[in-house]
């Protein structure tokens, strides 16, 4: 084996080992590095009342209700398996619409309502021109699970 090949083998081996280590570490981090909890996570992990958590999921169709004060909004977040009622007072982002993704910081109350302090909208990977809106929205409904995979 020539010295050149030996160096190459060492470099490639080091690269593979490093990438492998990185992937393993990142994979192990899975739970801690999650940006938010899904409604199913909340059912499973039972966070305490008043504990700060971040909730993420899809806004259920037909669930958004705006209160008379104009800034309070109640809605249901779901991930296909579990449902979590939530409320937020403040200006909502443009992308906060029914059937779209949402991520909210807040805490659970004793009666199981999630009270959000901040509300972020999540965009999905689909980019659709306005003119095609009616056609593709139905196609999108089957893809709502992409958020929580």
Per-residue x/- track, 101-120, other proteins (CB under 8 A): --x--------------xxx
Cα–Cα distance between 103 and 99 in angstroms, integer? Answer: 13
| Cα Rg of the chain (Å, integer) | 21
- State yes or no: residue 56 binds other proteins (CB under 8 A): yes
Cβ(115)–Cβ(106) below 8 Å? yes
62 φψ region: left (φ > 0), alpha (ψ -120 to 50), beta (else): left
Contact with other proteins (CB under 8 A) among 1, 69, 133, 138 = 133
Q: Is residue 64 exposed (0-12), middle (13-18) or buried (19+ Cβ within 10 Å)?
A: middle
Contact with other proteins (CB under 8 A) among 49, 67, 71, 132 = 132
Angle at 13 between CA 27 and CA 26, to 5 degrees: 10
Question: What part of residues 61-80 is at the interface with other proteins (CB under 8 A)?
Answer: none
Cβ(99)–Cβ(142) below 8 Å? no
Q: How far is the CB of 53 from other proteins (least distance, A)?
A: 12
* Contact region with other proteins (CB under 8 A), list: 17-25, 43-51, 64-72, 106-114: 17-25
Contact with other proteins (CB under 8 A) among 65, 123, 141, 145 = 123
What is the contact surface with other proteins in residues (CB under 8 A)?
Answer: 4-5, 7-8, 10-12, 14-15, 18-19, 21-23, 26-27, 30, 33-38, 56, 92-97, 100, 103, 118-133, 136-137, 146-149
């Amino acid at each position: 084996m020539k010295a050149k090949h030996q160096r190459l083998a060492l470099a490639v081996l080091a690269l593979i080992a490093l990438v492998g280590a990185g992937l393993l570490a990142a994979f192990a981090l899975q739970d801690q590095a999650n940006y938010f909890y899904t409604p199913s996570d909340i059912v499973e992990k039972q966070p305490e009342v008043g504990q700060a958590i971040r909730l993420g999921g899809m806004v259920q169709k037909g669930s958004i209700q705006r209160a008379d004060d104009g800034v309070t909004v109640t809605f249901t977040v779901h991930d296909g398996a579990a449902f979590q009622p939530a409320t937020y007072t403040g200006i909502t982002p443009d992308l906060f619409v029914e059937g779209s993704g949402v991520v909210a910081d807040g805490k659970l109350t004793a009666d199981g309502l999630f009270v959000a302090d901040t509300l972020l909208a999540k965009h999905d990977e689909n980019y659709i021109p306005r003119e095609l809106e009616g056609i593709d929205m139905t196609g999108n409904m089957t893809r709502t699970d992409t958020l929580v995979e």
